[in-house]
């Protein structure tokens, strides 16, 4: 194999799977899925292809499948991670 594996395709697949799960379970709040999608669009391409994101995605996906009652906890977790790696970061205060 190569020296640096690119996880982009795998991450896309995992993300789609997670979105699919969310679509089925966040029907009362249809704004959640587009928000998650938007978060991903804003994330750094290097992060989208990283092993770190792959780990987060596989974790939230498997947990959401076994504990659907905590789905929003995992959505929040993923959003927080994506936000931390977004291209445009809001600076809270400038002196």
Partner 1 sequence: GPVTLDDDEDEDDPENRIAKKMLLEEIQANITSD
78 contacts: CB under 8 Å, gap ≥ 6: 18, 36, 39, 56, 57, 60
Look at the alpha carbons of 84, 44, 64, 28 in this order and tell me if their dihedral is positive or negative. positive
- Return the range that interacts with partner 1 (CB under 8 A); candidates 1-9, 28-36, 44-52, 55-63: 28-36
Q: CB 56 → partner 1: shortest distance, Å?
A: 15
Q: CB 17 → partner 1: shortest distance, Å?
A: 19
Residues that bind partner 1 (CB under 8 A): 29, 31-32, 35, 38, 69-73, 75-76, 79
């Amino acid at each position: 194999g190569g020296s640096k594996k690119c996880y982009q395709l795998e991450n896309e697949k995992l993300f789609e799977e997670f979105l699919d799960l969310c679509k089925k379970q966040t029907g009362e709040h249809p704004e959640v899925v587009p928000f998650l999608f938007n978060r991903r669009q804003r994330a750094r391409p290097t992060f989208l292809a990283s092993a770190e994101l792959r780990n987060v995605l596989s974790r939230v996906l498997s947990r959401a499948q076994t504990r659907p009652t905590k789905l929003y906890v995992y959505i929040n977790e993923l959003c927080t991670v994506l936000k931390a790696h977004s291209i445009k970061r809001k600076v809270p205060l400038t002196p």
